[in-house]
């Protein structure tokens, strides 16, 4: 059987003031095309379907349209779990209607999916909390899925029935997964685990979370789960949460973050995004292929020492979002900013980088003397921007702020 692994769609997400919904339409259409071209049997979406608990109507509509297209009217199974950005109730709400199309939503680890069978031959033949067995059209062996949507540590411990707060969560998950694996996952089918959790190798380097991602490892979130906690019966682990494509471990089976479909913060600048195609059979090692996603704007960090260089690059690279650093020995004036913004409609921020030459003036433009007191620098900046010196009231406010900071340091 062929399986497509994707995650972290974050539908409805914005980049500062920029909406991403049209790009999300493009990239989800690309994922649908890949699924059709590769003739996949199953789609796994490993959480963070939306960007927040209350997505807008455009994000909700795009989600349902995409899921319906991926399912092909029940010919293909689509399994989606909630991530830490998702509302479990919202994810599970359409479940009865979704099941009629071959789509399974799991918002909570304790949810038990009702068994069903469609005219296409798609069938859930066995079910338990956090587990389903699927029989697929034209595939003569079952797919067993251990499913762990995101839940904070308190919720997971409640689900797992453990009252001893000293017992490590990873140990409880390991026990639960192993029990399902022993009960349902023999070598006569394909066995896969899908989770929205923070995975790493024990004693290994911790993977970085994106800058604007809600960190799982803080404030009530679940602790890191180790790759060694996976049952040996598993043939693949489909992960969601981290936005960069990466392999956590190869043993006892490949464990992958497939990546988000678009770059969502500048910590992801210049990252290539992927979906993963898994070819799986019972008793055999899975074969993996990562397929590049090319829709949407790329996030780019660029640094220029000349305004003309920046303008030329911006005009040559319109399909990007840019964090632009401009080296200067003066403040970036309004005329320069206007020219930059007119040259490109995707400048998210302009960062001035003050050069080391702080002497004299050049063609009547004052350079910045970083040896000056901060009050004098403020006066210079105000004069530059407003054409006049700051009044006494504003200077008094500045002094109050600076005095407070100095008192705090003392």
Higher pLDDT, 331 or 178: 178
Same domain, 125 and 217: yes
Q: What is the mean pLDDT of the chain?
A: 87
* Residue 266 · residue 301 · CB < 8 Å: yes
> How crowded is residue 407: how many other Cβ atoms within 10 Å of its Cβ?
8
Residue 385, pLDDT score: 64
Same domain, 175 and 80: yes
pLDDT digits (tens, 9 = 90+) for 286-298: 999 999 999 999 9
Instruction: Grade residue 380 by pLDDT with cuts at 50, 70 and 90.
Output: confident
Choose the most confident range, by mean pLDDT, from 84-98, 204-218, 391-405.
Answer: 84-98
Same domain, 162 and 125: yes
Question: Tell me, what CATH number does 172's domain have?
Answer: 3.60.21.10
pLDDT digits (tens, 9 = 90+) for 238-295: 999 999 999 999 999 999 999 999 999 999 999 999 999 999 999 999 999 999 999 9
Same domain, 228 and 335: no
Domain boundary pick from 293, 326, 349? 293
Same domain, 267 and 148: yes
Buried b (16+ CB within 10 A) or exposed e, 293-328: bebbbbbbebebeebeebbebbeeeeebbbbbbbeb
Same domain, 286 and 326: no
Is the per-residue pLDDT at 359 higher than 90?
no
Is the per-residue pLDDT at 368 higher than 50?
yes
Is the per-residue pLDDT at 139 higher than 80?
yes
Is the per-residue pLDDT at 358 higher than 50?
no
Among 11-15, 92-96, 193-197, the minimum mean pLDDT is found in: 92-96
Same domain, 256 and 122: yes
Same domain, 148 and 175: yes
* Residue 379 · residue 389 · CB < 8 Å: yes
Instruction: Grade residue 391 by pLDDT with cuts at 50, 70 and 90.
Output: confident
Domain boundary pick from 275, 293, 311? 293
Q: Which domain holds residue 19?
A: 2-293
Same domain, 314 and 280: no
Structural domain count of the chain: 2
Same domain, 193 and 80: yes
Cβ burial, residue 339 (10 Å; 0-12/13-18/19+): middle
Same domain, 261 and 122: yes
Same domain, 284 and 314: no
Among 73-87, 246-260, 357-371, the minimum mean pLDDT is found in: 357-371
Q: For residue 152, which phi and psi values (nearest 5 degrees)? A: -70, 170
pLDDT digits (tens, 9 = 90+) for 146-175: 999 997 766 666 666 655 544 567 888 899
Residue 387, pLDDT score: 60
Residue 179, pLDDT score: 96
Count of alpha carbons within 13 Å of 185, Cβ hemisphere only? 25
Is the per-residue pLDDT at 410 higher than 70?
no
Domain boundary pick from 262, 293, 324? 293
Among 47-56, 206-215, 226-235, the minimum mean pLDDT is found in: 206-215
pLDDT digits (tens, 9 = 90+) for 33-62: 999 999 999 999 999 999 999 999 999 999
């Amino acid at each position: 059987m062929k399986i497509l692994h994707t995650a972290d769609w974050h539908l409805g997400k914005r980049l500062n003031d920029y909406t991403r919904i049209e790009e999300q339409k493009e990239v989800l259409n690309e994922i649908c095309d890949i699924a059709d071209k590769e003739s996949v049997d199953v789609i796994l979406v490993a959480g963070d379907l939306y960007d927040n608990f209350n997505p807008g109507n455009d994000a909700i509509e795009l989600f349902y349209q995409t899921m319906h297209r991926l399912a092909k009217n029940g010919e293909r199974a689509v399994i989606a779990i909630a991530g830490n950005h998702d509302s479990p109730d919202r994810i599970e709400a359409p479940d009865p209607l979704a099941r009629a199309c071959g789509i399974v939503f799991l918002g909570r680890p304790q949810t038990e999916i009702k068994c069903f069978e469609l005219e296409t031959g798609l069938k859930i033949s066995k079910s338990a909390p956090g587990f389903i067995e699927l029989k697929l059209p034209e595939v003569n062996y079952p797919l067993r899925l251990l499913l762990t949507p995101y839940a904070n540590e308190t919720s997971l411990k409640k689900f797992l029935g453990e009252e001893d707060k000293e017992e490590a969560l990873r140990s409880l998950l390991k026990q639960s997964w192993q029990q399902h694996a022993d009960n349902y996952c023999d070598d006569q089918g394909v066995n896969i685990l899908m989770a929205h959790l923070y995975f790493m190798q024990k004693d290994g380097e911790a993977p970085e979370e994106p800058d604007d991602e809600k960190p799982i490892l803080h404030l009530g979130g679940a602790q890191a789960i180790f790759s060694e906690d996976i049952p040996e019966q598993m043939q693949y682990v489909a992960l969601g949460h981290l936005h960069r494509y990466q392999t956590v471990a190869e043993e006892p089976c490949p464990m992958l973050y497939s990546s988000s479909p678009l770059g969502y913060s500048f910590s992801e600048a210049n990252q290539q995004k992927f979906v993963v195609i898994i070819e799986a059979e019972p008793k055999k090692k899975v074969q993996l292929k990562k397929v590049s996603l090319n829709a949407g704007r790329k996030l780019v960090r660029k640094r220029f020492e000349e305004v003309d260089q920046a303008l030329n690059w911006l005009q040559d690279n319109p399909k990007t979002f840019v964090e632009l650093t401009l080296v200067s020995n003066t403040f970036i004036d309004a005329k320069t900013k206007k020219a930059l913004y007119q040259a490109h409609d995707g400048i998210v921020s302009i960062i001035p980088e003050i050069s080391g030459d702080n002497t004299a003036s050049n063609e009547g433009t004052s350079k910045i003397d970083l040896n000056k007191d901060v009050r004098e620098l403020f006066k210079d900046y105000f004069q530059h921007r407003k054409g006049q010196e700051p009044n006494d009231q504003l200077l008094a406010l500045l002094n109050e702020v600076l005095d407070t900071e100095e008192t705090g340091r003392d």
